[in-house]
């Protein structure tokens, strides 16, 4: 792969600024149907999940970016 193409892709830690976008992705019907919990996530539940995940050292929440724009979410446990 061309090194220039690799530089267009990155992973970074999820932040509070990403909460709304990740919630939209998570609640999309085509995504939700493949998740462990298929109910629609409400904002308060989503914020609590993020707060609890940030304090768990065995969980990494990452945002995949392509050319500086968020494209997806990665949860490594």
With 0-12 / 13-18 / 19 or more C-beta atoms within 10 angstroms meaning exposed / middle / buried, residue 22 is: buried
Q: In a 3-state reduction of DSSP, which class is residue 19?
A: helix
Tokens linked to 55: 């304090």
Q: Are 63 and 18 in contact (CB under 8 A)?
A: yes
Q: Are 25 and 31 in contact (CB under 8 A)?
A: yes
Sign of CA dihedral 31, 33, 37, 42: positive
Tens digit of each residue's pLDDT (9 = 90 or more) over 23-69: 999 999 999 988 888 899 999 999 999 999 999 999 999 999 999 99
Cα(19)–Cα(26) distance, integer angstroms: 10
pTM of the predicted model, to two decimals?
Answer: 0.85
């Amino acid at each position: 792969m061309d090194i220039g193409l690799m530089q267009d892709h990155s992973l970074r830690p999820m932040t509070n600024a990403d909460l709304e976008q990740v919630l939209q992705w998570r609640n999309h019907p085509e995504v939700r149907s493949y998740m462990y919990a298929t109910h629609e996530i409400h904002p308060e539940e989503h914020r609590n999940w993020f707060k609890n995940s940030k304090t768990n050292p065995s969980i990494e929440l990452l945002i995949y970016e392509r050319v500086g724009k968020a494209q997806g979410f990665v949860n490594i446990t």
